[in-house]
Structure 1
Amino acid sequence: RFRDHHAFLVRLHLDHYDQLTDSVGQLDARIEEAMAPFRPALDLLDTIPGINRAVAEVIIAETGGDMARFASARHLASWAGVCPGHHESAGRTKNTKVRPGNPYLKGALGLAAFGAVRTKDTYLQARYKRLTARRGPLRALVAVEHSIITAIWHMLTDNVTYRELGGAYFTQRDPERATRRAINALNQLGYTVTLNPRGATA
C-alpha cells in the first residue's frame, strides 16, 4: 500500500529533517566560534554542580562573562531575578515574590538548580533539603539559584574553580543545631533520646 505519493511525502519529510540538521550544525559551529574567547570562563562554570556546557554558554551570553559590570554578587543576583523581594510594613520586613530579571539567565539558573539538587553529597543539595522543610520546594530552589549565581560572580571575578563544601557542610558548621534537630525528630516519633559522647564508657 506504499505508493508513489507516500514516497513523495516521506522524501519531503526526510529532506526537511536534513535541512534542520544542517542548520543545527551551522548554529553549533557559530556558537563554538563565538564562545572561543570565553573558553576559560566556560571551563570554570562547568565545575559547578548542575551546570553543563549549554547552560554555561547561556550564562556567558547573557552576562558577557565580565563581572566588572556588576558591583557585587548581590547586584548580579538582583539583575538575574533570583533575589527575593522585600516589603516593609510597620517596621516589619516580609518576603515577597522574586523580582523580575533577565528571563534567559533566570531560565538557565533554573536548569542548573534542578540539576544541582539531584547531585549527591554536595553543598547545593544540602542547602535545598535544609530549606525545603521550612520554606517549601519553590523558595528553596530560588535559594539554590541564588547560591549558584553568587558562586559564579566570585569564580569569574577571581578566576577560580568552584569549591565544593560538601553535603555535611551545615552539620559541621553548627553541630549543636544538627543534634537538636535530630533529637526533636526522634522525639516526634515517640523515642526518648539519651546522648553519650563517643568513647564514653557506660
Structure 2
Amino acid sequence: MKKQEQPIAAEPKNLPVINPNAAGIDIGADRHWVSVPVSRDSKSVRSFACFTADLYAMADWLKQCGIETLAMESTGVYWLPVFQVLESRGFEVKLVNAHYVKTVPGRKTDVLDCQWLQKLHSYGLLSGSFRPDDQICVLRSYIRQRDNLIKSAGVHVQRMQKALTEMNLQLHRVISDITGTTGLNIIKAILGGERNPLTLAALKDGRIKASTQDIAAALKGDYRCELIFILQQELQLYEFYQTQILAIDAQIEQCLAAFADKVDVTKKPLTKPKRRGKKQPGNAPQFDLRTHLYRISGVDFTQIQGFGALTVLILLSELGLDPTRFPTVKHFTSWLGLCPGSRVTGGKVKSSQTRSVVSRAANAFRMAAQTLCRSHSALGAYYRRMQAKMGAPKAITAAAHKLARIFYRLWTSGDQFIDSGVDAYEQRYRERVVNNLKKKALAFGLELTPISDSTQCVS
C-alpha cells in the first residue's frame, strides 16, 4: 500500500478558519477520496468504494470525526448518491464547480484534490452549486425525462419524413405537421394498403389550407415495400413514445398535486388567458397545467409575453419555489449567464460578452425571447429595437435578460404582470432619446427647442 501523501501546504497562521469541522471529498467513478482535518484522525485521508454500504460507512466515519459540512467536486452524476446519503445523515453538503477549484499545478492526484477541497472549505472559500429542494428535484427529474422522450419521438418523426421523401411522397410540402390529424390519417391509410391519391387526400382535416388536388398531387410516388415497412416501424415507435409521454404526464400531475398551496384558487381564481395568436403547443400536457402552476407559486407567470404554461413548468422545475436562494436579481441573471460579463484588466474593458452557461432555465428564457419578434407588446417592441440595433442573436440574449428580471420581480413580490403596450414603450423610448440629445446639446453650450411652424431653432 502506498504511503499516504502529505497535505499540499502548511496551515497558514494569518487566515482565519471559518469552517473548522469541514471535510473535502473527491468523487470518482469507483472510489471516493475523503479528507478531514489532520487532528481528527490518525489517518486523515481515506478512500471508500461506491457501493451503498461504503457510503454509509463514510457517513459514520465523518460523524466520528465531528464533521458538520462537506465540499465535493464532481463533473458527472457520480456525486448524486453520495450527496443524498450524506444530506440524509444531517451533513451540510456543497457541490462545487470543478472549473472553479484548481489544485497546485503539476501535483494532480485524488488525495491532493480532497485535501485541497478540505482546506479551501475550512477557510470559507468555496460556494456550493445551486440545487433546489428535494420535492422540486423529483419534479425536475420528471420534466427532464419528458424532454428526453419528446426529443426521441422527434427522431422517429424525421425518419418517417425521410421514408416518405424517398418514396417521393411530398406530404410535408402541403401540410405543416405530418404527425397532426391529417398527416397520421394519411400515413395510416398508406400502411393499410391505400394507394389512390384522391382517396388519401380526402382524409384531410377541414382546417388544412391546402386543397384536395394539391395533397393528391403530393401523394403520387413510388410506394416501395421496404420503405413502407420502415415507415410502419417508425410510426409504431413514435406512437410508443407518445404513450410514454402520456404516462409521465400523469406522474407530473400527481407530483404537482402534492405541492402545498400558496394561493387558494377558489378565492383568487385565474384570469382568462390572453389570446396570443398561436395554438397550444403540440407537446404540452393535456391536464390543467396553468392552474397547478398558479396554485403552487402564487403567481400567474403566463401573463408575461412569451411564457406558456410549459415554459413556466420548466422554469419552476429548474429554479424551485424559493427565490431567497438568489439574494438579488443580479445574482439570478448572473447565475443564468444572461447578464453582460465584466472582464476588465489594466483599467480597460476587454470583453462584456455573457458567460457560457449550460442551463435549461436560461434556454427556456431564450426560447421565450424568440417568440417576441411578432408580439404586439412592450416586450415585443423592445426585442425588435434590439434586433435592429445588434442583430438577432444578441437581441435574443437581451430580451431573455429582461424576461429573467421580470420573472424574478414577480417571483419575489408575487405581483401581477401588466403590459404597458407598444405605444407606451415607444413614447418612453422617444423621451429617453430626447433627454439624451438635450444633455449632449447642453454639453456643447447649446439648447434644443421643439419644432414649431415647420422650423427648428437651435441656439
Find the counterpart in structure 2 of residue 27 from structure 1: 248
State the AA in 1 paired with 2:408. Answer: W
State the AA in 1 paired with 2:409. Answer: H
Tell me the secondary structure at the aligned position of residue 327 of structure 2: coil
Aligned counterparts, 1:1-202, within 5 A: 15-36=236-257, 37=259, 39-40=293-294, 41=297, 44-120=300-376, 122-177=377-432, 195-196=451-452
Find the counterpart in structure 2 of residue 189 from structure 1: none
> In the alignment, is the contact (CA less than 8 A) between 2:340 and 2:354 conserved in 1?
yes
Q: Residue 64 of structure 1: CA displacement?
A: 0.6
State the AA in 2 paired with 1:79. Answer: W
Distance change (3 Å), C-alpha of 1:164 and 1:9: closer
> In the alignment, is the contact (CA less than 8 A) between 1:35 and 1:57 conserved in 2?
no
Deviations along 1:52-100, one digit per CA (max 9) or x if unpaired, are 1111111001101221111011111111111121221442335432113
Greater shift after overlay, 54-63 or 8-17?
A: 8-17
Aligned length: 181
Partner Cα distance (1:178, 1:128) in 2? 17
Greater shift after overlay, 146-155 or 102-111?
A: 102-111
Q: Which has the higher contact order (CA 8 A, sep 6+)?
A: 1
Higher helix share: 1
Tell me the secondary structure at the aligned position of residue 342 of structure 2: strand
Tell me the secondary structure at the aligned position of residue 343 of structure 2: strand
Partner Cα distance (1:32, 1:86) in 2? 42
Partner Cα distance (1:177, 1:45) in 2? 29
Q: Residue 49 of structure 1: CA displacement?
A: 0.3
Identity of aligned residues (%): 24
> In the alignment, is the contact (CA less than 8 A) between 1:87 and 1:94 conserved in 2?
yes
> In the alignment, is the contact (CA less than 8 A) between 1:171 and 1:178 conserved in 2?
no
TM-score by length of 2: 0.35
Distance change (3 Å), C-alpha of 1:26 and 1:118: same
Distance change (3 Å), C-alpha of 1:169 and 1:87: farther
Partner Cα distance (2:406, 2:363) in 1? 17
State the AA in 2 paired with 1:31. Answer: I
> In the alignment, is the contact (CA less than 8 A) between 1:79 and 1:102 conserved in 2?
no
What's the RMSD between the two structures over aligned residues? 3.0
Partner Cα distance (1:45, 1:25) in 2? 24
Tell me the secondary structure at the aligned position of residue 349 of structure 2: strand
State the AA in 2 paired with 1:23. Answer: Q
Distance change (3 Å), C-alpha of 1:34 and 1:81: farther
State the AA in 2 paired with 1:32. Answer: E
State the AA in 1 paired with 2:383. Answer: Y
Tell me the secondary structure at the aligned position of residue 420 of structure 2: coil
Q: Residue 8 of structure 1: CA displacement?
A: 8.1
Q: Residue 172 of structure 1: CA displacement?
A: 2.5
Greater shift after overlay, 152-161 or 25-34?
A: 25-34
> In the alignment, is the contact (CA less than 8 A) between 1:117 and 1:124 conserved in 2?
no
> In the alignment, is the contact (CA less than 8 A) between 2:299 and 2:411 conserved in 1?
no
State the AA in 2 paired with 1:24. Answer: I
State the AA in 2 paired with 1:141. Answer: I
